[in-house]
Structure 1
Amino acid sequence: MKVGLITNSLTWAGMKDLKQISEWAYENGFRDLEVGPTVELDEKIFSDIKAEGKIDISALIYCRNFLDEENDIGKEHKEQLIKRIEFAGKLGIEKVICSTGVTKDAYYGARFNPEKSVEAVTIWLKELMEHAEKHNVKIAIENCPMMGNIAISPYMWEVLFDKVDSDKLGLAYDPSHMIWQFMNPYENILKYRDKIFHFHGKDTEVLYNNLSKVGILHNITEETKFFEHQWWRHRLVGLGDIDWNKIIANLYEIGYEGTISIEHEDPVWEGSLDKVEQGLIRAKNHVQRFIEG
C-alpha cells in the first residue's frame, strides 16, 4: 500500500499548479495523486509528472449529479466525465472516481429513497462502462451521499453491481461516510474485497452532545454555516471515530495493494495553505505508521 492525496484541498487553498502539487507531495512523503476537477487536464504536465517517476497519478476524480435534468447540467457533467475517461486511458491513469447521479424523484420531504433512481442510474452506468472498457479504465464509485449519488450503502452496492456486471466497475471506498450514516466501516472491507479499487483516507467525528439536541435531520448548509448545531464533521485521519489500525489490518487481509488517498475536508485544519499542508502531512503520518508497522 502507498499513501497519496486528493488535490482538492490544496487547490482550494491556492496551490493550483499540478507540477507544484506533485513536487510538494513527493517532498512530504506522498507517493500518489488523485487529481480533482479544478486541475486542468494538461496532457504534457500529466505526462511529465508520470515520466519523472517520483510520484504516480493513479486516479482522476469527478463527482457530480450526472442525472440532473435542469438546463442540461447533467449532460454537461457526463461529457466532462467521459472526457476524463478518455484522458486517463490515453495517459495510462488506472482509475476514474465518480458518483452515480441521482434523479429528483428520489427526494421527498426530509426523506431520501435511492432505489427510485436505480433504473436511470443503471442505464447511465452501462453507457459509462462502455467508455471505460473501451479505454481500459476502471470506474470507482465513491460512497459519498453528496454530489448526486445512490451508491451510498452496502445494500445499494449490491443492487448496482447486480445490474451492471463489469470487472471495471468497483468502489472508491470512503469509511468516513459510513460513520455518520451509522454503518460498519470495517466488515464491509472484507465483504467487498474484490470491488475495492481505491481507498479514501478521511475520518468523521460524531458530536454526540449536538446529536442529542438536534437529531440526525438537522444539517448545516453552506449559506448558514450553523456549526454550533452540526452533529458530525469530517476530520483528518486519526482525529475522528475511525480505528485506522483496524482499517489497515483489514486492507492487508484482503490483499489491497493500492493507494490510501488522503482527502482533507477537516474544518479545523483549513483557513490557510499552511494549515492545509500541515493537515495533509498529519493525516499521512497517522496512516503510514500502521502501514509500516
Structure 2
Amino acid sequence: MKIGLLGLPIEETFKKASEKGLEFVEFSINVESDVDHFLNELPKIADWMQKYNVGVQSIGRWGSDRIDPVGKIIEGELQKSYQLIDAAQKLNCENFVCGCNYRKEISYYENVNAAIAYFSKLIAYGKEKGVKISTYNCDWNNFVDNEMAWTIIHGYLPELRIKFDPSHSRYGGRDYLKEMRDWGHRFNHVHIKGSVIIDGKRFDDPPAGLDQTDWNTFMAILYAKGYEGGLSIEPHSHVWEGELGEKGIDFTVEFLKRLVI
C-alpha cells in the first residue's frame, strides 16, 4: 500500500507530498470546480510529477447531478467525466471516482437503472483509457454509498469499484468494519480521515490516530482482502488548519507508516 495526500492541483501539493515522504497526490475536481482550468493545467501537473517524483493516484468529481428528474443521463456532466478520465490517462492515474445523485421524482428502481446506465458508460470509456471507475461512499449528492446500493449496482457491474472512507460510514450510522469485510474486495482507493462522534452527532474530523476509528482492525481487513491501492490522507477539519493542520498531517503520516507492512 502507498500513502498519499488529497489536495489542490497546484505545485504546493506536490512539494508538500514530497517533503513528507509520500508517494502520490489525489485531486477532487468537484461540482464547484472549473474542469477546463484543470485540463489546461495538465502539462504543468505532469512537470510537477516529474520534478517531485510524486504520482497522481486518483482523480474524483463529487457533488454534481448526473441524472435528470426523469432518469436520463445529463450529457454535459457525462462529457466532463469523460474529460477527467482522459486527464487520468494522461497523468498515468489509475482511478476515477464519482457518485450518482438520487431523483425523488422517480422510484428507487428507476434511480438504480439510471445509475447503472451512467456507470456502464464510464466503465466502458475507462477501459479504453486504462482507468478504473470507483463510486465514493459519501452521501454528497450520491445514493450509491451503502450496501443496499452496492448489492444491486455493483452486483450488476462487476468492474465497478469502491472508494472507501470509514468516516462516512460512521457518520451514516453504518458498520464500517462489516462493509469492509463484505465489500473490501471491490475497494480501489481509500481515504484516511479521522472521525469523532459524541452524543450521536459528528463532532470533528481530527487526524487519523486521534479519533475513534479502529485503524488497526481497519488495516488488518485491508490486508485480508488483498488491498494494494492508495491510502490517501484527507485533511478535513476546521480545527486542524494552518500550523496545527500541518502537524496533524505529519502525525497521520507517521501513524500510518507503523501500520503499513
Q: What TM-score, normalized by structure 2, do the two folds share?
A: 0.86
Q: Could you list the runs of 5+ residues in structure 2 that have no partner in the other structure?
A: none
CA distance in 2, matches of 1:232, 1:178: 15
Q: Residue in 2 aligned with 1:51? A: 50
Q: Cα distance 1:40–1:103, how it changes in 2: closer, same or farther (>3 A)? A: same
Q: CA deviation at 1:177?
A: 0.8
Q: Residue in 2 aligned with 1:253? A: 224
Q: Residue in 1 aligned with 2:250? A: 281
Q: Cα distance 1:127–1:54, how it changes in 2: closer, same or farther (>3 A)? A: same
Q: Cα distance 1:79–1:191, how it changes in 2: closer, same or farther (>3 A)? A: same
Q: Do the aligned residues in 1 keep the contact of 2:25 with 2:54 (CA within 8 Å)? A: yes
Q: Residue in 2 aligned with 1:120? A: 114
Q: Is residue 2:162 matched to residue 1:171?
A: yes
Q: Do the aligned residues in 2 keep the contact of 1:49 with 1:56 (CA within 8 Å)? A: no
**What is the count of residue pairs matched by the alignment?**
252
Give the secondary-structure state (helix, strand or coil) at the position aligned to 1:79.
Answer: helix
Q: Residue in 2 aligned with 1:157? A: 150
**Residues 235-269 of structure 1, C-alpha deviation per residue, up to 9 Å, x if partnerless?**
32123221111111111222212111011111221
CA distance in 2, matches of 1:180, 1:231: 7
Q: Do the aligned residues in 2 keep the contact of 1:203 with 1:238 (CA within 8 Å)? A: yes
Q: CA deviation at 1:51?
A: 3.5
Give the secondary-structure state (helix, strand or coil) at the position aligned to 2:22.
Answer: coil
Q: Do the aligned residues in 2 keep the contact of 1:234 with 1:266 (CA within 8 Å)? A: yes
**Residues 161-203 of structure 1, C-alpha deviation per residue, up to 9 Å, x if partnerless?**
12324x3x20011111111222221233232233110111012
Q: Cα distance 1:238–1:100, how it changes in 2: closer, same or farther (>3 A)? A: same
Q: Cα distance 1:275–1:114, how it changes in 2: closer, same or farther (>3 A)? A: farther
Q: Residue in 2 aligned with 1:268? A: 239
Q: Residue in 1 aligned with 2:126? A: 132
Give the secondary-structure state (helix, strand or coil) at the position aligned to 1:290.
Answer: coil
Q: Do the aligned residues in 2 keep the contact of 1:206 with 1:231 (CA within 8 Å)? A: yes
Q: Residue in 2 aligned with 1:182? A: 173
Q: Is residue 2:5 matched to residue 1:5?
A: yes
55-64 vs 35-44, which deviates more? 35-44
Q: CA deviation at 1:231?
A: 4.2
Q: Residue in 1 aligned with 2:64? A: 65
CA distance in 2, matches of 1:115, 1:197: 26
What is the identity, as a one-letter code, of the residue corresponding to 1:162?
A: G
Q: Cα distance 1:283–1:74, how it changes in 2: closer, same or farther (>3 A)? A: farther
Q: Cα distance 1:105–1:281, how it changes in 2: closer, same or farther (>3 A)? A: farther
Q: What TM-score, normalized by structure 1, do the two folds share?
A: 0.77
Q: Is residue 2:76 matched to residue 1:105?
A: no
Q: Residue in 2 aligned with 1:32? A: 24
Q: Is residue 2:18 matched to residue 1:20?
A: no
State percent identity of aligned pairs.
23
Give the secondary-structure state (helix, strand or coil) at the position aligned to 2:252.
Answer: helix
Q: Do the aligned residues in 2 keep the contact of 1:114 with 1:150 (CA within 8 Å)? A: no
Q: Could you list the runs of 5+ residues in structure 1 that have no partner in the other structure?
A: 12-16, 107-112, 212-229
Equivalent residue for 1:244, pick from 192, 200, 215:
215
What is the identity, as a one-letter code, of the residue corresponding to 2:222?
A: L
Q: Cα distance 1:288–1:74, how it changes in 2: closer, same or farther (>3 A)? A: farther
Q: Do the aligned residues in 2 keep the contact of 1:90 with 1:135 (CA within 8 Å)? A: no
RMSD: 2.6
Q: Cα distance 1:204–1:69, how it changes in 2: closer, same or farther (>3 A)? A: same
Q: Do the aligned residues in 2 keep the contact of 1:59 with 1:96 (CA within 8 Å)? A: yes
